[in-house]
Structure formats: C-alpha cells, structure tokens
Amino acid sequence: MENITLAPEIYRAFGLDRNRFIAKRFGHGYINRTYLLQSSNEESYILQRINTQVFTSPEAIASNYRLAADFLKRRYPDYLFVAPLLTVDQKEYCIWNDEYWRLLPYIPHTLALDAATAPEQAYEAARQFGRLTRYLHDAPLHQFQVVIPNFHNLTLRYSQLQEAIRNAREERREYAEELIEGFLDYSSIAIHFEEIKTEKSFPDRLIHHDAKMNNVLLDEKTFKGICVIDLDTLMPGKIISDLGDMIRTYVSPASEEERDFSKIEIRESYFEALIQGYLDELRDLLTPVEKEALFYAGLFMTYMQGIRFLTDFLNEDIYYPIQYPEHNFYRAKNQLILLQQLIAKQDTLQAIIRKHLH
C-alpha cells in the first residue's frame, strides 16, 4: 500500500506531529475510510474518515461510545474497549473541510482476519461479540442512540426491495429477474421477523451490528480474542443481528465477494464453534424467544444482506462501492446461495444449537 498525504490540520487537531508518521490505507470496510498512521517508534494509530452519508450523526456515535466506555470502565475495569482518542479540544472527532475524522488507538500484536481459517477463531470472535452484549447487559439501554434508524429492520429492507423493483430501469430489472424471484420466494423470512419482533420476551440489547470476523482483534500469536472494534453501530437491537452476521460470514469459506459460487459451503465445525462461543457468554441471559431464534438468525441476516445488495443493484449502486457493473448483483446471488445452503442443513444445524443450549 502506498503512502498517503493527509491534511496537516487533521494531525494538528489530535496533537500529532505529522512529520513523525506515515499514513496508509487500512482494512477494506465499505463505508468509512480507514488509515494506519505509523511512526518509527512503534507508536501507531488508526485514523478514520466517517462516512456522513451513512452515519448522519457523528455526535450520536460519540455519545454511545462515551456511555459504553464509562459504564465498562466502572464495571469491568480490565475490559479492553477501543474508544476514540480525544482531540486537543477534548472532542471525539475533528471536522475538517466538512469531513469528520476520528483517531483510535492501534492495538499492537493483534490481527484482524478477513475470514476464519480455523473453528477456534470463530469461537474466539463469537465470544467477543457475546461478551460485549453481556457486559453491557445492565447499561442504561435507553440512553443509547439509534445511530442508523431501521438498520436491521428486515420489514423495511424488504419493502425497499419492492420499491427498487418498481423503480428500476428495465435493463437492470430484466437482468436480475430470476434473482428477484429467488429472493421473493423466501418472503416467509421477512414475515417471521414481523411476527417475533414485537414479542415481549424478545428484548432489545446492546448489539454491535457488524459482527464480521475482521471486526475482532485476535492475539497475533495465540489467536485468542482480544477485543471488538468498529463500534459505530453499537446500539439497541436484537441478538439475531450479531449471531446472524457471524453465521453469514464465518461458516462458509467463501466471502460475500466470491463469484465462484461452488466455493460456498456450510462448515458445520465453524457453525458449532461460533454457536458455542456466543452461548458461552450469553446462554444464561437469553429468553426462550431468543433461544428459539438462534437458527433463524442466520437466515435473517443472510436474507437481509442479500436484499440490501440486490436493492442497491436495482438502484444503480448508490450505497455499496462497486468494482464492476454487476458487482452488487453477484454479491446478492452469493447470499441467496448461502441462504439456500443454510436452509438445506437446517436439521443438522438445529441439532448443534440444541446441544450447546444447555
């Protein structure tokens, strides 16, 4: 990765001497832009430009970070919670040229894997996400802000797909016709969400809402879980969001970017490991409705992500960055195939869940 020149004002806002650092692009999130600042003496930082099209209130994110950090420091003083570093004006971010920038500590001797390559990694990552929700169990839930309204509201995502189908250009709609049918065939997944979302014992909890593998830092030698990162969407939600995203992204060796769909596969050992990791933290907290929804979580998130990609394809790619014209179409198709494979293995996967619930 080549070195990048960033505005001196940004360094200055955080009290950093720009001459001591080199900056490089880091990670490959779709939404925010991330840089690694490295100095010669091991002092490193993560600098991020917040995408304010998606995160319209950086202040809401900062407020949630503050609430969580304060609570965790009091309750679990040894817990590593990676919160933004303050500017010289004591703010969680600086504004430069209408851009919002924030600085985070870089945690040395850790790595973030783009994909799990051993079930133990799935276990460790799932445990970290489960722990975050468990540790925040008694935090003041209602003081946390909803950073992106309706973020994981499948009902809304489903109606956005229907709207996109209606408004799409003929060419795109025809190209995606079969795929659209494929997704509409599984509308029962959206209907099930309608049914359970209002159940009394389906509580809101503090959920990470982006529980992919590379949002966990592992020890670079032992691969033990160290902490979770990318907490922008830490907000009230349902456990099916994090558990479902883990099922969606850890179980198959092929990521959502894979175009060779023959590589999509349900690895039962990874499924088992992540279920175990998540339940080892949360087993005793879960309500009967939540326990009932554990397998559904994978369907819920895979279906929703597929719908989001397909909707974006029909909308001419206004949300997810693309590298070629049909990129979102292939991402959506990938998710539909993963969904079908999860459903095909339902009995086996349900049996694994039952084994670890007690």
Q: Which residues ranging from 197 to 256 are in contact with ligand GN1 (CB under 6 A)?
A: 210, 256
Q: Which of 48, 276 has the CB closer to ligand GN1? A: 48
The CB density around residue 15, as the number of other CB atoms within 10 Å, is: 12
186 Ramachandran zone, left/alpha/beta (phi>0; psi -120 to 50): alpha
Q: Judging by DSSP bridges, how do beta strands 94-96 and 33-38 pair with one another?
A: unpaired
Quick one: how far is CA 20 from the chain centroid?
Answer: 33
Q: Which residues ranging from 299 to 338 are in contact with ligand GN1 (CB under 6 A)?
A: 305
> What is the Cα gyration radius of the chain?
20
Q: Which of 128, 305 has the CB closer to ligand GN1? A: 305
Binding range to Mg ion, per CB under 5 A, among 8-16, 71-79, 204-212, 265-273: 204-212
Q: Which of 165, 307 has the CB closer to Mg ion? A: 307
Shortest spacing between CB 245 and ligand GN1, in angstroms: 6
Q: Which residues ranging from 15 to 34 are in contact with ligand GN1 (CB under 6 A)?
A: 29-31
Tokens for 40, please give them: 């010669």
Q: Which of 31, 139 has the CB closer to ligand GN1? A: 31
Q: What angle do CA 17, 23, 27 make, to 5 degrees?
A: 140
Q: Which residues ranging from 225 to 284 are in contact with Mg ion (CB under 5 A)?
A: 230
Q: Which of 33, 34, 39, 54 is close enough to bind ligand GN1 by CB under 6 A?
A: 54
Shortest spacing between CB 187 and ligand GN1, in angstroms: 21
The CB density around residue 52, as the number of other CB atoms within 10 Å, is: 14
Shortest spacing between CB 9 and Mg ion, in angstroms: 26
Q: Which of 92, 120, 124, 210 is close enough to bind Mg ion by CB under 5 A?
A: 210
Cα–Cα distance, 252 to 274 (Å, whole number)? 12
| Torsion on CA atoms 286, 289, 136, 86, rounded to nearest 10 | 140
Cα–Cα distance, 345 to 123 (Å, whole number)? 20
Q: How many CA atoms lie within 13 A of 284 on its CB side?
A: 6
Residue 302 touches which member of ligand GN1, Mg ion, none, C-beta under 5-8 Å by kind: none
Amino acid letter, residue 97: N
Q: Which of 71, 306 has the CB closer to ligand GN1? A: 306
45 backbone dihedrals φ, ψ, rounded to 5°: -140, 160
Residue 104 touches which member of Mg ion, ligand GN1, none, C-beta under 5-8 Å by kind: none
Residue 54 touches which member of Mg ion, ligand GN1, none, C-beta under 5-8 Å by kind: ligand GN1
The CB density around residue 25, as the number of other CB atoms within 10 Å, is: 13
Residue 305 touches which member of ligand GN1, Mg ion, none, C-beta under 5-8 Å by kind: ligand GN1
What residues line the site for Mg ion (CB under 5 A)? 210, 230
What residues line the site for ligand GN1 (CB under 6 A)? 29-31, 54, 210, 256, 305
